[in-house]
């Protein structure tokens, strides 16, 4: 399945070492200002080689729009785009052509399709998420006139984590450091950890927190199209994601019902809640409060050290991975979490408007 969404739809194509990554956006409203500089800036946030914390693969990741835009605005027709691959080192994978890399998709792709592209993981590579970032950037532009804002930040790397909630931080500081954490002291600790892990040929995971503000009441389609379920599906479709929760999530069992209920109040004529343990969603429908959620990422599976594995014939052997890889996916995954959330919100907003 290579299409995401129902009303706002993104179909993607391409492989890590192929000619290009691209996509077609269908269902985008007409007349949206197509700020191509903003779209490119979103791609720049996820591009490789942007800091010492990321892979050294040097890709410009310049987006080319082929259709669907005219005089700086969307036309309501399909928006086709390409991002060409420029810096492939496919020979790095020659020795791994017949080996299964631990915790990658090599084995499952081979068993399912009977063939796979071993160069950088082919279609299963996180490089293909370029297309999601373009789709998400266009969705952000469509959400702007509606007053809906999507932000994300790194809230944990390894065992180093931020205290409190998103309300305790100035999220405008997220882009002031390479790890994309709004707390400068914690960011320095996270960066130091990533550097140490990288020197050891190892990798480390963490958590990204997402925050959506300006959401109207009523987004979500119970019982099987609940808004939080859609956000969860979007996040779990991202490479290396192992978990998702929203509101107080897995902390909810710590509270009694009398402690956990979000009681209603009249906030200057607007019905609101005094607390927001629900994370802005009740009964699968947005209630007008901020939506906040967490996305857990595992450590990157490619280690620059020897590991045990098997070859295609089942013979046990040793793999010594080559190539250029991130020691921690978190810094470059922040814009991707935002992109998937933005596309989900626009998809559900368009559905509500169609009623």
Do the Cβ atoms of 19 and 85 come closer than 8 Å? yes
Token pair belonging to 289? 């409060």
Q: Of 117, 128, 88, nearest to 323 (Cα)?
A: 88
Contact 152, 211 (CB under 8 A): yes
Residue 302 assigned to a binding site: yes
For residues 172-184, one letter each, b for 16 or more C-beta atoms within 10 angstroms of the residue's C-beta and e for the rest, the string is: eebeebbbbbbbe
Distances (CA, A) of 211 to 48, 169, 219, 300, 338: 25, 12, 16, 24, 9
Tokens 């509500």 locate to: 352
Q: How many CB atoms sit inside 10 A of residue 84's CB? A: 16
**Total Cβ atoms within 10 A of residue 119:** 21
Taking the C-alpha atoms of residue 59 and residue 14, their distance in angstroms, rounded to an integer, is 15
Does 124 carry a binding-site annotation?
Answer: yes
* Element holding 293 (H helix, E strand): strand 291-297
Read out DSSP for 52-90?
A: TTS--------EEE-SSEETTEE-SS-EEEEEE-----G
Known binder of ligand: residue 324? Answer: yes
Please name which of 78, 101, 91, 64 lies closest in space to residue 26, comparing C-alpha atoms.
78
**Residue 125 marked as a ligand binder:** yes
Q: Is 123 annotated as a binding residue?
A: yes
Determine if residue 283 is labeled as part of a ligand binding site.
yes
Binding site feature residues for NADP(+): 46
Binding residues for FMN: 123-125, 239-240, 283, 298-302, 324
Binding site residue list = 46, 123-125, 239-240, 283, 298-302, 324
């Amino acid at each position: 399945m290579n299409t995401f969404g129902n009303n706002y739809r993104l179909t993607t194509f391409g492989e890590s070492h192929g000619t290009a990554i691209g996509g077609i956006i269908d269902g985008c409203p007409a007349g949206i200002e197509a700020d191509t500089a903003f779209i490119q800036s979103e791609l720049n946030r996820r591009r490789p080689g942007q800091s010492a914390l990321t892979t050294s693969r040097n890709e410009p990741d310049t987006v080319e729009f082929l259709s669907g835009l005219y005089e700086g605005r969307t036309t309501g027709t399909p928006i086709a785009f390409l991002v060409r691959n420029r810096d492939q080192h496919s020979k790095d994978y020659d020795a791994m052509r017949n080996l299964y890399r631990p915790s990658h998709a090599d084995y499952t792709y081979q068993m399912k399709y009977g063939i796979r592209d071993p160069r950088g993981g082919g279609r299963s590579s996180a490089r293909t998420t370029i297309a999601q970032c373009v789709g998400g950037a266009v969705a952000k532009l469509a959400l702007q006139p509606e007053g809906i804002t999507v932000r994300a930040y790194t809230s944990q790397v390894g065992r180093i984590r931020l205290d409190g909630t998103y309300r305790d931080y100035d999220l405008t500081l997220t882009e002031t450091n390479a790890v994309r954490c709004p707390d400068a002291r914690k960011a320095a600790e996270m960066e130091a950890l990533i550097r140490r892990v990288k020197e050891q040929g190892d990798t480390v995971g963490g958590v990204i927190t997402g925050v959506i503000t300006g959401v109207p009441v009523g987004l979500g389609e119970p019982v099987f199209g609940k808004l939080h379920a859609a956000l969860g599906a979007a996040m779990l479709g991202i490479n290396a994601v192992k978990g998702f929760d929203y509101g107080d999530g897995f902390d909810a069992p710590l509270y009694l019902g009398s402690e956990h209920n979000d009681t209603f109040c009249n906030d200057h004529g607007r019905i609101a809640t005094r607390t927001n343990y629900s994370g802005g969603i009740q009964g699968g429908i947005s209630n007008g409060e901020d939506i906040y959620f967490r996305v857990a990422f595992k450590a990157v599976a490619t280690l620059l050290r020897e590991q045990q594995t098997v070859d295609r014939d089942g013979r046990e052997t040793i793999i010594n991975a080559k190539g250029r890889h991130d020691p921690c996916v978190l810094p470059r995954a922040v814009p991707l979490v935002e992109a998937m959330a933005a596309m989900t919100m626009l998809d559900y907003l368009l559905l509500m408007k169609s009623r």
